[in-house]
Structure formats: structure tokens, C-alpha cells
Amino acid sequence: MRAIIQRVSDAQLTINRETIKQIGMGLVILLGIEECDGNQDIEWLSGKICRLRIFTDPDQVMNLSVLDMQGEVMIVSQFTLHASTKKGNRPSYIKAAQPEIAIPIYENFIKQMEKDLDQHVVTGQFGAYMQINLTNDGPVTIMIDTKNRE
């Protein structure tokens, strides 16, 4: 699994040019899923993101997590995170899991995040056309890949 985590002051999500969902201060997580991803990846990544200390404390040091801040979270599936640009100019998405594999993993990741955060998270719609309007706070953007465990 690959995740791009952005610390935001707010974010709005439009799905199929209709539905609008939004969050305030918190995290927008773009999530890419590979066929080999499983429960260990879900649990590790969710825990890592929830405990990631990227919010500033009163001394302006990044020392607080989204849990500490009681921030909101938005999760959006993003198969393009597994794009390969090694050959040619058209990205290949062969590493990205097919929907029949990716959807249950995506749904389980959402459940795990809600459990770890002890709150509801805002989500995109798998496979839909979506637009995200966000204010990246800092800016702070972090990439995590469960295969590297960095």
C-alpha cells in the first residue's frame, strides 16, 4: 500500500460532480493498493498514520498526531500512486490492484482507521471521478509505502 498524507486546514471532495464531502483540520490520505497488500499492511499503515506526529504543538514543533489534535480524516482511493513511468511516457498501472481485490482492502483500511481514530472518516467513492480541493497546511506532505516500512 502506498499513501500520500497531507496535513490540511480544510478539504472538500466532489464525487461525480455532485456529492460534496468536507473536513476541517486534519489529514487527507490518498491510498494506492497493490494485489499483494493484506491485513498486516492495513493495520501497520493505519497505526502509523494515526500516530504520525506532524501537527504543531504550542511551541510550534511538529510533535502532535491527528489523534492528539482530534483532527478529521479524509481517505480517497488513488490507483495512480502505483504508476510506473520506467518505459515510455504513458504511465503503466499494472502494479495497482484490480477493483475486485482493491475494494475490500480499501474498505478494510477505512474500518481500521475508524477503529484506530475512534471516529468516522470521510471517504471518496472507489472508481468514481473525484475532485479534491484542499488547503495543504505547512505545507506538510508525506509518502509512506508499506513495502518499505520507513
The model's pLDDT over 88-118, given as tens digits with 9 standing for 90+, comes to 898 888 889 999 999 999 999 999 999 999 9
Per-residue pLDDT, 83: 87
Which uninterrupted H or E stretch holds 47? helix 39-51
Residue 150 domain-assigned?
no
Which uninterrupted H or E stretch holds 45? helix 39-51
Number of domains forming the structure of the chain:
1
Residue 124 domain-assigned?
yes
Q: Which residues contact 61 (CB under 8 A, 6 or more apart)?
A: none
Which uninterrupted H or E stretch holds 15? strand 2-15
The answer to whether residue 150 scores a pLDDT higher than 80 is: no
Question: Nearest to residue 1, comparing CAs of 136, 114, 110?
Answer: 110
Active site residues: 80
Which uninterrupted H or E stretch holds 21? strand 19-23
- Looking up residue 54, the CATH number of its domain turns out to be 3.50.80.10
Q: What is the 3-state secondary structure (H, E, C) of 53-107?
A: CCEECCCCCEEECHHHHCCEEEEEECHHHHCECCCCCCCECCCECCHHHHHHHHH
pTM of the model: 0.94
**Alpha-carbon distance 88 to 16, whole Å?**
31
Give residue 43's domain range. Answer: 2-145
Residue 45 domain-assigned?
yes
Low-confidence winner among 28-32, 54-58, 61-65, 123-127 (lowest mean pLDDT): 123-127
Per-residue pLDDT, 92: 87
Buried/exposed code over 61-76 (b: 16+ C-beta within 10 A; e: otherwise): eeebbbbebebbbbbb
